[in-house]
């Protein structure tokens, strides 16, 4: 479904932030990119939706090449969720969710129906929450609205940058479960950037460990626990699990 | 603008019944003299526009020279010293000859014959000042003035025949901190209330009589003659024989005592200069009609009520001036402020310029603009426009820069274009700060607009300055109260519109932070 080939990013000609990253995910698969801060995981994610233009490499969603269209059109095909949701404080829940669809001049009835449906999916009934402002929601509720916003145009691929990072552990846990169940139904291809190994183990079909701009290991939870590629991976897994 | 004025000038030649614009400086005598001319012209069927209260000599003369007014009265001594920058001659006829010749050569401006009286400067004291009771002439003061206070009009401190010349001629030794330059109208109250001991008064001022003051003899003939006469462009006079004939009726007509009497009626008895001028002309059989017996205004309320028509006109002028300035400032500032957030280098160049404009004192700014735009609405509106730029541009710029980059990045990430981000995200989020800038700009502009009266743009400053120069507190209040009210109402209105325009989500967030 999504294929990243030899992705590179060089800032100012000599700072190599990402040095040739390749991986792929099937439809319905969740991939978690994990690593210490400065390892290039967020840069990689932002290159995929072209918030940062890659210096070199190839990105394919289905058979579409990222470079075949302009960045705005490309981003509209990819759902995007960031830490603390990034909901616009001057818009209500329903206006936040439907922002892009309104800009794309979607039919009004479609928008109303879709917002209602999505709010059902995230367990925030329309009647109760549609007209609230972000400031009137809890952190977990804001994050769910952020996910609903990303799903509005029904993109095949979603990118999430530390989506559960700002939440307290209890909320985070319950959201993890909700999110997992949700994607069992929706079958989106999802890339999550995280620094939390537990989260990666819980949500990721595939875990991509990055270090100093390169991929150190790609694999499942079992691969990481039983067959770490090297001593760094072993240390990383031990140091981070059970945190 | 100049081309526009020239066009206007030609059109005025084509159509005979185009109004004659009469100016005057802001003190009673000048207003009374101009009013006489206006009344006589109206009596012969001419249309007249009154631009009275034109600040000082510079404003009035520049206005005449650049076509903002057609005629105004000035004094031979003023023309000689202030405008021609000459000094030395003190013989009245010779001074009149010199100014007539030189003004025609240099500016194409003609002087009429003098109106009669001489209104020169005079060093004046309280009649009942015991310590000075033996002093009769200025010479007797030499070297004795260390502890006394002097009040003098602003102009007097600057002009060649002003304070410096007088002090050296007579050996006067006022110490620097005891010299107060002040508005000519306030000076008389200051000496009456013993705030100062000497003033440099005008020799025909009604308050010399009314406030029981005494003029010290200018025994060395230091002060040049100040004979008033009407000034107009020679070309304009040729094309308007009626104006010329009407001015001739006033030449040599007014004696010193008559002028003191009329000044007193306006300054102390608070009579309308128009009525005083009309009564005088009726007495001289130049106008027909009944002498108007003035009721003396008592309470402010009844005074304001009696002038409600004038008040309404002034409020409209004031608002029109303020809002056009704000409107155009908004039109420029919003795009400029946004643009500067995209061009940080340009911002570093432009903000110092706008900051500097803001620090120019308002009167000085108005002064700069007169040679370029003449007098009236245009320079006043431009000055106010310039003053409102800083709060508007700065707040737009800061407001947009203060928008959390997370919101911008999230919006870009979900597929908004830069333009959509600006209008759907940045501007709505910056709106409270932009509106705060609008609020500041509006209050500044409504307050500063009172100064516009000094360059003939009207508005609520007009009664304030007329009131200050004629010591008429009712007139001052007639301008001051409404302009303060307008500023408060505008402030409240923008505050209210904030609750309508700014999203509830932002207001809630603001409240929660507070």
Q: Report whether A79 contacts A159 (CB < 8 A).
A: yes
* Cβ-based contacts of A85 with chain B (< 8 Å): 410
Map out the domains of chain A as residue ranges: 1-70+191-243
Query: Rounded to whole angstroms, how far apart are CA atoms A209 and B460?
Result: 74
Report the 3 state secondary structure along B242-256.
HHHHHHHHHCCCECH
Domain B2-118+227-296 has CATH 3.40.190.10: yes
Kindly report the nearest CA distance between residue A136 and chain B, in angstroms. 8
pLDDT band at B11 (very low <50, low <70, confident <90, very high): very low
Q: Does A163 touch chain B (CB under 8 A)?
A: no
Query: Rounded to whole angstroms, how far apart are CA atoms A49 and A66?
Result: 8
User: What chain A residue is nearest to B501 in terms of C-alpha separation?
Assistant: A90
Query: Rounded to whole angstroms, how far apart are CA atoms B358 and B339?
Result: 21
CATH superfamily of B121-215: Osmoprotection protein (prox); domain 2 (3.40.190.120)
Answer yes or no: do B412 and A86 touch at CB < 8 A: no
pTM value is 0.73
Query: Rounded to whole angstroms, how far apart are CA atoms A8 and A21?
Result: 7
Question: For residue B22, what pLDDT is reported?
Answer: 95
pLDDT band at B298 (very low <50, low <70, confident <90, very high): low
Answer yes or no: do B512 and A84 touch at CB < 8 A: no
Per-residue pLDDT at B269 exceeds 70: yes
Q: What is residue B328's three-state secondary structure?
A: helix
CATH annotation of B308-513: 1.10.3720.10
Residue B201, beta-bridge partner list: B122
Per-residue pLDDT at B54 exceeds 70: yes
Question: For residue A242, what pLDDT is reported?
Answer: 44
Q: Does B143 touch chain A (CB under 8 A)?
A: no
Q: Does A149 touch chain B (CB under 8 A)?
A: yes
Kindly report the nearest CA distance between residue A241 and chain B, in angstroms. 29
ipTM of the complex: 0.89
pLDDT band at B295 (very low <50, low <70, confident <90, very high): low
Q: What is residue B48's three-state secondary structure?
A: strand
Answer yes or no: do A82 and B504 touch at CB < 8 A: no
Query: Rounded to whole angstroms, how far apart are CA atoms A100 and A153?
Result: 8
Q: Treating both helix axes as pointing N-terminal to C-terminal, what angle do B427-448 and B308-342 enclose, rounded to 10 degrees?
A: 140
Q: Does A90 touch chain B (CB under 8 A)?
A: yes
Map out the domains of chain B as residue ranges: 2-118+227-296, 121-215, 308-513
pLDDT band at B9 (very low <50, low <70, confident <90, very high): very low
Parallel, antiparallel or unpaired: strands A206-211 and B179-182: unpaired
User: What chain A residue is nearest to B513 in terms of C-alpha separation?
Assistant: A135
Answer yes or no: do A103 and B420 touch at CB < 8 A: yes
Q: Give me the DSSP letters along B185-202.
A: HHHHHHHHTTS-SEEEEE
Report the pLDDT averaged over residues B113-133: 91
Q: Where are the beta strands (DSSP E) in chain A?
A: 2-11, 15-25, 30-34, 56-61, 64-65, 78-82, 157-161, 189-194, 206-211, 214-219
Question: For residue B189, what pLDDT is reported?
Answer: 85
User: What chain B residue is nearest to A133 in terms of C-alpha separation?
Assistant: B505
Query: Rounded to whole angstroms, how far apart are CA atoms A111 and A107?
Result: 6
Report the pLDDT averaged over residues B126-141: 90
Query: Rounded to whole angstroms, how far apart are CA atoms B348 and B329?
Result: 20
Query: Rounded to whole angstroms, how far apart are CA atoms B387 and B384?
Result: 5
Number of helices (H) and strands (E) in chain B: give both, helices first: 24, 10
Q: Report whether B119 contacts B203 (CB < 8 A).
A: yes
Phi-psi region of A13 (alpha: psi -120 to 50; beta: other; left: phi over 0): left
State pLDDT tens for residues B155-190.
Answer: 788 776 788 888 888 988 888 888 888 887 788 888
Q: Hey, what long-range contacts does B39-44 have (CB within 8 A, 24 or more apart)? A: B39/B274, B39/B277, B39/B278, B39/B281, B39/B287, B40/B246, B40/B249, B40/B250, B40/B281, B40/B286, B40/B287, B41/B242, B41/B243, B41/B246, B43/B287, B44/B242, B44/B246
Query: Rounded to whole angstroms, how far apart are CA atoms B508 and A91?
Result: 12
Q: Report whether B63 contacts B456 (CB < 8 A).
A: yes
Q: Report whether B69 contacts B63 (CB < 8 A).
A: yes
Q: Does B423 touch chain A (CB under 8 A)?
A: no
Q: Does B428 touch chain A (CB under 8 A)?
A: yes
Report the pLDDT averaged over residues B358-375: 83
The CATH number, out of the four listed (1.25.40.10, 3.40.50.1980, 1.10.10.10, 3.40.50.300), of the domain defined by the range A1-70+191-243:
3.40.50.300
* Low-confidence stretches of chain A (pLDDT beneath 50): 242-243
Q: Best mutation site among B413, B428, B507, B509 for testing chain A: the one with the most A CBs within 10 Å? A: B413
Q: Does A50 touch chain B (CB under 8 A)?
A: no
Per-residue pLDDT at B259 exceeds 80: yes
In this complex, which of A73, A80, A88 lies closest to B407 when CB atoms are compared?
A: A88
Q: Does A70 touch chain B (CB under 8 A)?
A: no
Q: Best mutation site among A90, A102, A160, A161 for testing chain B: the one with the most B CBs within 10 Å? A: A90
Which tokens belong to B227?
């004979």
* Cβ-based contacts of B406 with chain A (< 8 Å): 82, 84, 86
Query: Rounded to whole angstroms, how far apart are CA atoms B197 and B191?
Result: 6
State pLDDT tens for residues B197-221.
Answer: 999 998 898 888 888 899 898 888 8
Question: For residue B294, what pLDDT is reported?
Answer: 62
State pLDDT tens for residues B384-438.
Answer: 999 999 999 999 999 999 999 989 999 999 999 999 999 999 999 999 999 999 9
Instruction: For CA atoms B327, B330, B335, B336, give the dihedral sign.
Output: positive
Q: Report whether B505 contacts A134 (CB < 8 A).
A: yes
The torsion defined by the Cα of B123, B33, B229 and B37, in degrees rounded to 10, comes to: 180
Question: For residue B371, what pLDDT is reported?
Answer: 78
The torsion defined by the Cα of A80, A82, A85 and A91, in degrees rounded to 10, comes to: -60
Parallel, antiparallel or unpaired: strands B213-215 and B150-153: unpaired
Answer yes or no: do A75 and B506 touch at CB < 8 A: no
Report the pLDDT averaged over residues B2-17: 50
Answer yes or no: do B416 and A100 touch at CB < 8 A: yes
Question: For residue B482, what pLDDT is reported?
Answer: 95
Which tokens belong to A143?
């994050």
Question: For residue B206, what pLDDT is reported?
Answer: 85
Number of helices (H) and strands (E) in chain A: give both, helices first: 10, 10
State pLDDT tens for residues B439-492.
Answer: 999 999 999 999 888 888 889 998 898 888 767 788 899 999 999 999 999 999
Residue B228, beta-bridge partner list: B75
Q: Does A193 touch chain B (CB under 8 A)?
A: no
Question: For residue B107, what pLDDT is reported?
Answer: 94
């Amino acid at each position: 479904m999504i294929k990243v080939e030899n992705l590179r990013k060089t800032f100012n000609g000599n700072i190599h932030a990402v040095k040739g990253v390749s991986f792929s995910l099937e439809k319905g698969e969740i991939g978690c990119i994990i690593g210490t801060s400065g390892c290039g995981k967020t840069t990689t994610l932002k290159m995929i939706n072209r918030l940062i233009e890659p210096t070199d490499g190839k990105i394919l969603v289905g058979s579409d090449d990222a470079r075949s269209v302009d960045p705005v059109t490309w981003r509209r095909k990819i759902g995007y969720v960031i830490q603390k949701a990034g909901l616009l404080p001057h818009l209500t829940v329903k206006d936040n969710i439907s922002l892009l669809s309104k800009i794309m001049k979607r039919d009004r009835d479609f928008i109303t129906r879709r917002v209602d449906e999505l709010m059902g999916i995230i367990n925030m009934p329309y009647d109760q929450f549609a007209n609230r402002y972000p400031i009137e929601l809890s952190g977990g509720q804001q994050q769910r609205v952020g996910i609903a916003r990303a799903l509005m145009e029904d993109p095949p691929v979603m990118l999430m940058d530390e989506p559960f990072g700002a939440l307290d552990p209890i909320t985070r846990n319950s959201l993890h479960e909700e999110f997992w169940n949700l994607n069992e139904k929706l079958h989106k291809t999802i890339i999550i950037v995280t620094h939390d190994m537990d989260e990666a183990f819980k949500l990721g079909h595939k875990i991509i460990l990055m270090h100093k701009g390169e991929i150190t290991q790609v694999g499942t939870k079992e691969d990481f626990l039983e067959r770490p590629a090297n001593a760094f991976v072993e240390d990383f897994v031990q140091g981070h699990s059970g945190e | 603008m100049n081309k526009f004025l020239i066009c206007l000038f030609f059109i005025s030649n084509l159509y005979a019944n185009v109004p004659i614009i009469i100016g005057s400086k802001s003190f009673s005598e000048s207003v009374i003299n101009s009013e006489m001319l206006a009344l006589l012209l109206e009596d012969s069927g001419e249309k007249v526009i009154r631009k009275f209260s034109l600040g000082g000599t510079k404003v009035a003369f520049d206005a005449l020279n650049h076509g903002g007014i057609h005629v105004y009265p000035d004094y031979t001594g003023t023309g000689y010293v202030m405008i021609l920058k000459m000094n030395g001659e003190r013989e009245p006829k010779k001074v009149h000859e010199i100014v007539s010749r030189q003004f025609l050569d240099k500016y194409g401006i003609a002087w009429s014959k003098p109106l009669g009286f001489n209104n020169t400067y005079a060093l004046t004291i309280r009649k009942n000042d015991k310590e000075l009771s033996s002093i009769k002439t200025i010479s007797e003061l030499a070297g004795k003035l260390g502890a006394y206070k002097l009040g003098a009009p602003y102009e007097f401190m600057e002009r060649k025949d002003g304070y410096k010349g007088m002090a050296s001629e007579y050996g006067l030794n006022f110490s620097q901190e005891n010299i107060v330059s002040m508005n000519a109208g306030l000076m008389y109250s200051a000496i009456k209330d013993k705030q100062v001991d000497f003033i440099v008064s005008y020799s025909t001022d009604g308050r010399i009589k009314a406030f029981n003051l005494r003029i010290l003899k200018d025994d060395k003939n230091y002060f040049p003659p100040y004979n008033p006469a009407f000034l107009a462009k020679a070309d304009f006079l040729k094309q308007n024989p009626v104006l010329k004939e009407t001015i001739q009726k006033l030449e040599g007509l007014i004696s010193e005592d008559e002028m003191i009497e009329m000044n007193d009626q306006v300054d102390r008895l608070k009579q309308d200069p128009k009525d005083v001028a009309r009564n005088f002309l009726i007495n001289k059989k130049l106008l027909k009609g009944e002498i108007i017996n003035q009721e003396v205004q008592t309470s402010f309320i009844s005074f304001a009520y009696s002038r409600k028509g004038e008040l309404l006109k002034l409020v409209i002028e004031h608002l029109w001036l303020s809002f056009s300035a704000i409107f155009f400032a908004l039109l420029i500032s919003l795009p400029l402020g946004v643009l500067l957030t995209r061009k940080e280098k340009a911002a570093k160049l432009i903000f110092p310029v706008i900051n500097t404009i803001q620090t120019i004192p308002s009167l000085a700014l108005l002064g700069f603009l007169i040679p370029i735009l003449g007098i009236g609405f245009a320079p006043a509106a431009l000055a106010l426009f310039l003053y409102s730029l800083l709060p508007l541009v700065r707040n737009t710029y800061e407001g947009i820069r203060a928008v959390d980059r997370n919101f911008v990045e999230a919006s870009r990430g979900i597929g908004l274009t830069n333009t959509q981000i600006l209008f759907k995200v940045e501007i709505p989020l910056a709106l409270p700060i932009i509106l705060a800038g609008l609020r500041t700009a509006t209050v500044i502009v409504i307050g500063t607009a009172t100064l516009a009266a000094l360059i003939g743009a009207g508005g609520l400053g007009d009664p304030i300055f007329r009131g200050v120069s004629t010591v008429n507190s009712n007139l001052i209040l007639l301008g001051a109260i409404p302009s303060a009210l307008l500023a408060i109402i505008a402030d409240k209105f923008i505050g209210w519109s904030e609750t309508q325009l700014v999203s509830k989500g932002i207001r809630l967030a603001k409240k929660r932070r507070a």
